[in-house]
């Protein structure tokens, strides 16, 4: 008996037994012959479709037909650095054998991994015309470090383009095609969509060309930690690789957002996509078109959100506003008298929700704009009028550890900062942290420097302990500290251990 016969023998036996059982049932009158053969084709009931309302169901087809010609594919050539290739080549021997075999097979046409890096790498994304004379909007990360850029229109024309300007902080870039023409374009919506509104996204996923997906606005105002001006619109219309820079439309054919990022554990769409809102893109593009750079207002403070712990330690009723971590010298904030510990509650009379809200609103203004800040200091409301400056970069020295002196009740060992190498001349350096203490739970670590405790500057471990004791005597459940870290100054409210 062949292997095939051996494997199929039980099935054949089962079929024979089943056939025998059916014959027995027929003989016994349990089932009729017609039940075995089924109804004749002429007797089959037709599928009923008259009750379906297909013609009255909404269709995206008219919308797509009107806006799709304005959507383009963006292709870039990016310089490939020798360093990045050499870094990879040096790790070749550490790769698993199966990965090495794959790379050897598909590395190049000769079946081997190249010994030298390619001169350029290719990248693809999406974009869309915003004017008839050929201005195109896309993401900054699509064209970043590009040696050359081409766009492919919906009808297949390939056009050379140049980068007019980019803004990394919002991930927006403006291009201009070289060839003159009367190009189809789309407009930005003046009104933000509501959560639950239908939207349609168009892009170039995986190089397939113009692809359309539909969904709804899932949420707005999302901060995904992508930059200081995060305020993404979340949509569930599928967005995949190559969609970056493509537009998302409302049902009136207006652009409500630009596809920028996705959340995905697999690299593909899982229904969580993020768009830069249309009003942000519109404002940035207007600035890029007139000078190629975005000039933003600058206040001159480092800030953080007022969380529940900080609000409680300051005696605030609500966890709202932005607390000043540090004021930069020679800036509008410093000139207006703002200092660390002030809580900014209003900008031009409008409430400040948190640090991100203040950052975005100041960033949407221009250098030279006059603003009014309302802030709290020691429980009293104050106001300051100031004129915004141009943005500048600030750096903070990193604190290093050396030796310790004393210990606080919150699980840290302390030393005067001027006695710890690299900690600077102000404050009290943290040189050791109890991993099970309250300070560790709030993220404090060795190398951080305590500048203020309960609003008072400190320079010795004894002063830190004294201010902590005073806060306890005042009935506080937490003590507010201003901490200097490698990333800048910020406030931390550390709760007292429960008795």
CA dist., res. 173 & res. 127, Å (int): 10
Q: Which of 73, 126, 218, 244 is catalytic?
A: 244
What are the CA-CA distances from residue 273 to residues 71, 228, 235, 267, 415 (Å)?
Answer: 19, 19, 5, 12, 47
Q: Per the structure block, which two tokens stand in for 414?
A: 């302390």
Q: Per the structure block, which two tokens stand in for 34?
A: 């017609």
Q: Which of 167, 171, 236, 452 is catalytic?
A: 171
Burial (0-12, 13-18, 19+ Cβ within 10 Å), 435: exposed
Q: Torsion over CA of 468, 472, 476 and 478, rounded to 10 degrees?
A: 40
Helix or strand (DSSP H, E) at 89: helix 82-89
Q: Per the structure block, which two tokens stand in for 347?
A: 């900008």
5 is catalytic: no
CA dist., res. 323 & res. 196, Å (int): 34
Strands (E), 190-270: 198-203, 211-222, 232-235, 247-249, 255-262
CA dist., res. 359 & res. 36, Å (int): 76
User: Which three-class secondary structure state does DSSP give residue 356?
Assistant: helix
CA dist., res. 147 & res. 127, Å (int): 18
CA dist., res. 474 & res. 192, Å (int): 47
CA dist., res. 414 & res. 170, Å (int): 40
Q: Per the structure block, which two tokens stand in for 305?
A: 């959100």
CA dist., res. 324 & res. 482, Å (int): 10
Q: Per the structure block, which two tokens stand in for 449?
A: 């420097």
155 is catalytic: no
160 is catalytic: no
User: Which three-class secondary structure state does DSSP give residue 284?
Assistant: helix
Q: Which of 131, 141, 154, 282 is catalytic?
A: 141
**DSSP secondary structure of 163-230:** EEEEETTTTEEEEEESS--------B-SSPPPTT-EEEEEE-GGG--SEEEEEEEEEEEE--SS-TT-
Helix or strand (DSSP H, E) at 18: helix 3-28
> Which residues are annotated as catalytic?
141, 171, 244
């Amino acid at each position: 008996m062949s292997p095939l016969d051996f494997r199929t023998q039980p099935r054949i036996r089962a079929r024979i037994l089943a056939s025998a059982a059916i014959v027995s049932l027929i003989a016994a009158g349990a089932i009729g012959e017609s039940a075995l053969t089924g109804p004749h084709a002429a007797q089959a009931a037709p599928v009923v479709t008259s009750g379906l309302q297909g013609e009255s169901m909404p269709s995206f087809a008219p919308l797509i037909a009107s806006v799709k010609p304005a959507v383009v594919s963006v292709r870039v050539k990016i310089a490939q650095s020798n360093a990045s290739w050499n870094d990879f080549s040096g790790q070749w021997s550490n790769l698993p054998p199966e990965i090495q075999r794959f790379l050897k097979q598909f590395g190049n046409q000769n079946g081997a991994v190249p010994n030298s890096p390619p001169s350029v790498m290719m990248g693809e994304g999406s974009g869309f015309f915003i004017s008839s004379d050929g201005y195109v909007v896309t993401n900054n990360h699509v064209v970043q470090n590009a040696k050359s850029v081409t766009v492919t229109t919906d009808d297949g024309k390939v056009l050379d383009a140049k980068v007019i300007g980019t803004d990394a902080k919002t991930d927006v870039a403006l291009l201009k095609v070289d060839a003159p023409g009367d190009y189809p374009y789309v407009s930005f919506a003046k009104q933000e969509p509501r959560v639950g509104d239908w939207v349609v996204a168009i892009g170039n996923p995986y190089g397939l060309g113009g692809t359309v997906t539909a969904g709804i606005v899932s949420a707005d105002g999302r901060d995904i930690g992508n930059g200081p001006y995060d305020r993404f619109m979340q949509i569930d219309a599928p967005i995949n690789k190559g969609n970056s820079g493509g537009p998302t439309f409302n049902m009136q054919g207006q652009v409500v957002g630009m596809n920028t990022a996705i959340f995905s554990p697999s690299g593909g769409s899982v229904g969580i996509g993020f768009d830069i809102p249309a009003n942000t893109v519109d404002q940035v593009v207007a600035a890029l078109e007139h000078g190629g750079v975005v000039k933003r207002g600058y206040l001159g403070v480092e800030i953080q959100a007022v969380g529940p712990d900080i609000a409680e330690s300051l005696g605030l009723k609500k966890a709202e506003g932005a607390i000043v971590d540090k004021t930069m010298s020679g800036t509008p904030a410093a000139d207006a008298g703002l200092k660390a510990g002030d809580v900014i509650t209003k900008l031009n009379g409008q409430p400040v929700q948190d640090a991100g809200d203040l950052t975005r609103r100041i960033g949407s203004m221009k250098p030279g704009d006059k603003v009014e800040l309302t802030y709290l200091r020691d429980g009293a409301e104050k106001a300051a009028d100031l004129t915004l400056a141009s943005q500048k970069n600030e750096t903070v020295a990193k604190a290093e550890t050396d030796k310790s002196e004393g210990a606080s009740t919150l699980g840290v060992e302390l030393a005067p900062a001027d006695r710890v190498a690299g900690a600077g001349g102000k404050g009290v350096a943290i040189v050791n942290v109890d991993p099970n203490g309250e300070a560790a739970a709030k993220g404090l670590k060795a190398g951080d420097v305590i500048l203020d405790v309960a609003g008072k500057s400190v320079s010795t471990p004894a002063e830190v302990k004294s201010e902590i004791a005073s806060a306890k005597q005042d009935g506080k459940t937490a003590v507010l500290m201003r901490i200097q870290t490698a990333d800048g100054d910020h406030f931390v409210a550390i709760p007292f251990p429960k008795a």
